[in-house]
Amino acid sequence: MAAKKEDLKEKLFYKPGNGYDSLTAAEEKKMEAYCEAYKDFLDHGKTERLCVDYCIELAEKEGFKEYKAGMKIKAGDKVYFNNRGKAIMLAVIGKEKLDKGINLTAAHTDAPRLDLKPSPLFEEGEMAYLRTHHYGGIRKYQWLARPLELHGVVVLKNGETVKVNVGADEGDPQFIIEDLLPHLSKPSDNEPLNKAVSSEILRVLVGSRPIGEKDDSERVKMGIMKLLNEKYGMVEEDFISAELEVVPAGKATDIGFDRSLIAAYGHDDRVCAYAEMAGLFDAKNLKKTGVCIFADKEEIGSVGVTGMISEAFEWFMGDMCKTQKVDIRDCFANSFCVSADVTAAYDPNYAEVFEVQNDSKINHGVAFCKYTGHGGKGGASDASAEVVGKLRKLMNDNGVVWQMTQMGKNEQGGGGTVALDLANRNIDTIDAGVPVLAMHAPIETVAKFDCYMTYKCMKTVFEKA
């Protein structure tokens, strides 16, 4: 009787397991190679602009060409559309016409960071600082007392655009935001974390050497401006037409004695962006056209001309549809989309905010999320049972290890992705991505196994959905 009961349990119960229990030596070798390439992508892509630049470099090596309005397309063609240097869409044209729909994946490559204010440079206490405004959801105290880099572009008064990348290359200086020493911190020690460090304190230290005569004013600021003028041709007013981002310094690195994890800045959501790009590169014999998106501005609501709400996606798809005399509405109605975004991995250090039975775990594979949002699913697209079932079957039929997830206990918080923006276009959409530890921290952690399974998921969607 006992044996029969165990057989019944085996047949009827859902028991997700650790992916390493089924990982072959051959697959592990592929996983390690994939993750090394992903780390390289992270090191090249500290900002959304740098991600687009590196994506184009990699895509052109794979035979992709820049898409131009009215371009004739045929099965097997590979094209990309660069949206203002901050977002990008890639497509591999399938055998079927676009009225049959596309297989679409959409990730974002912006990440929480510090942006410079329009007039950022000032001197105080004989030190020079840059004032910042935080972008996206951060815990401000995490940005103190850590090395920082500066990346972006400046449009000079003559209209020339210059690139600024300081802190990533060997021998570069880096920057820092100082913390208060514990000997003097008693007044703030008992304050809530969100009040102990104010946004206005996030001022980046950029220098201390004075120039000129000792009776001159703002001698340190003058020294900084002199260096910026010599290297980039900048004057102070040029900060007004600049997009300069402060991000954590350092390269992606293996974590653990067993090297099973990766720590880096910007896993959210570059870990999914790289997976979908690599999946599209490696997909073979596409029946439907495969499209992958690197979107911008997700961390602040997917707004603007480079965000997922923008009609740039309609322009790209609509122009290709016109070349095939297809109504874009028919294309969207018959499409399938994976909103490729990360989720929160169960962390036993903070078990009180998680719901173990339904939250994702590291090394359990790519995580599907039926709904995000907050409270009573507010702001979620809430994928249908049919959409969840389709993705589940695709993964089971093609050897992809997956798990189902949500985002912590009810009413603990919540989050959003671009899924809502795509579902609103009449495209069947579901979230799927990598579980992340310490999401939105300056340094986040993911499991290599989950990264690799997310890549396999995206490749399968392009080939089989």
Q: Which residues touch 115 (CB under 8 Å, ≥6 apart)? A: 132, 133, 134, 135, 243, 244, 245, 246
Cα–Cα distances in angstroms (integers) from residue 107 to residues 146, 304, 389, in the given order:
28, 16, 22
CA 84 to CA 61: how far, in whole Å?
21
CA 37 to CA 270: how far, in whole Å?
13
> Does residue 415 contact residue 339 with C-beta atoms inside 8 Å?
no
Angle, alpha carbons 20-25-28 (nearest 5°) = 60
Q: Is beta strand 289-295 parallel, antiparallel or unpaired with respect to 102-108? A: parallel
Q: Is 86 helix (H, G, I), strand (E, B) or coil?
A: coil
> Does residue 340 contact residue 107 with C-beta atoms inside 8 Å?
yes
Q: What pTM did the predictor assign? A: 0.96
Other C-beta atoms lying within 10 Å of the C-beta of residue 305? 14
Please give the pLDDT value at position 377.
83
CA 284 to CA 56: how far, in whole Å?
20
Q: For the chain (length 465 residues), average pLDDT per consecutive 10?
A: 76 91 96 98 98 98 96 96 98 97 98 98 97 96 97 97 96 96 85 86 97 93 97 97 98 98 97 98 97 96 95 97 96 97 95 92 96 81 94 96 91 83 95 97 98 98 96
> Does residue 346 contact residue 354 with C-beta atoms inside 8 Å?
yes
> Does residue 254 contact residue 57 with C-beta atoms inside 8 Å?
no
Burial environment of residue 45 by CB neighbours within 10 A (0 to 12, 13 to 18, 19 or more): buried
Check residue 178 and report its DSSP letter: P
Please give the pLDDT value at position 2.
59
CA 287 to CA 408: how far, in whole Å?
38
The closest of 410, 433, 406 to 353, measured between CA atoms, is: 410
What are the strands of the beta sheet with 366-369, ordered from one edge? 65-66, 78-83, 87-92, 289-295, 102-108, 336-340, 428-433, 366-369, 402-405
Please give the pLDDT value at position 1.
52
